[in-house]
Structure 1
Amino acid sequence: MPIARLTTVAWSLSAVAVGMLLVGCSASVSVGNSEPKLSSDKLATTVSEKLAGTTGRPKPDITCPEDLVGKVGTTTRCTLTAKDGSTLGVSVKVTSVDGKQINFDIKADDTASPAPN
C-alpha cells in the first residue's frame, strides 16, 4: 500500500504544481499609512484571492512571513499549503509604487514539496 499512497501523493502534488504553474499574475493594493507597506496578513489574503481568480479554484491557504515594503524590486516569499499538507512557494515582487498603491507580481514555484510525514 505505500506505493499506492506515494502515487496518490505524487499525483496530488503534480496537480497542485501544474495548476500553480499557470499562475503568473499581478496585483495592486492601496495602503493607508505614510510609508507604503502591506501587512503580511493582507498580502496573504491578496495573493490567495489573486491565485483563486487566476486558476478558477477555491482560495488556497497562503501564509506570508513578513510585510511587503512598497519599494520597487522588494521581494518576499509566501507559502501555499494544500489540503494534503504539501506546500508550494510563491514569490511576490514589487513592480511599481504609485503614492500609496503597491503593484506586485505573483509567481508560484514550479514544484511542490511533499507533506511532512
Structure 2
Amino acid sequence: MFKLEDIQNYGKEQYEAAIAHTTSLQNGLSAIVNAYGDYAKKSYEDTKLLAEKLSGVKSLDKVLEAQGEYAKTAYETFVADSQKIAGLYGNLAKQAFKPLEGVAAKFAPATTH
C-alpha cells in the first residue's frame, strides 16, 4: 500500500529534477546566444576597422593589403567561433537527452563478460 507521504516525496523529486533540467537547458541556450552575440560584435568591429583603414588609403596595393588582412582575420574568427558554437550545441544536446539516459538504462539488456 502506498503512503501519501511517499507519493508526495516522489512528486517533489520529479518536480525538482524537472526544474534542474530546465535550468540546465536554459543556461545552455544562453551560452549559445552569447556566443553568437560575441561573434557578431567582433565581426562588426573588424568590418569597422577595415572601413577606417580603407578611408585613409591612397594606393591600390595598400587597399589590397588591408582587404587581405581583413579576409584572413574574418576567416579565422569565423572558424574559431563556429567550433566554439558547435561545441555549445553538442553540450546542449547532451543535457537535453540526459533525463532519457536513466529510462534507456532500465530497458537496455544487461551485458555479461
Structure 1 or 2: more helix by fraction: 2
Sort the TM-score into its range (normalised by shorter chain).
Answer: 0.3 to 0.5
More strand by share: 1
Q: Kindly indicate whether structure 1 or structure 2 has the higher relative contact order, using CA contacts under 8 Å at least 6 residues apart.
A: 2
Normalized against structure 2, the TM-score is what?
0.33
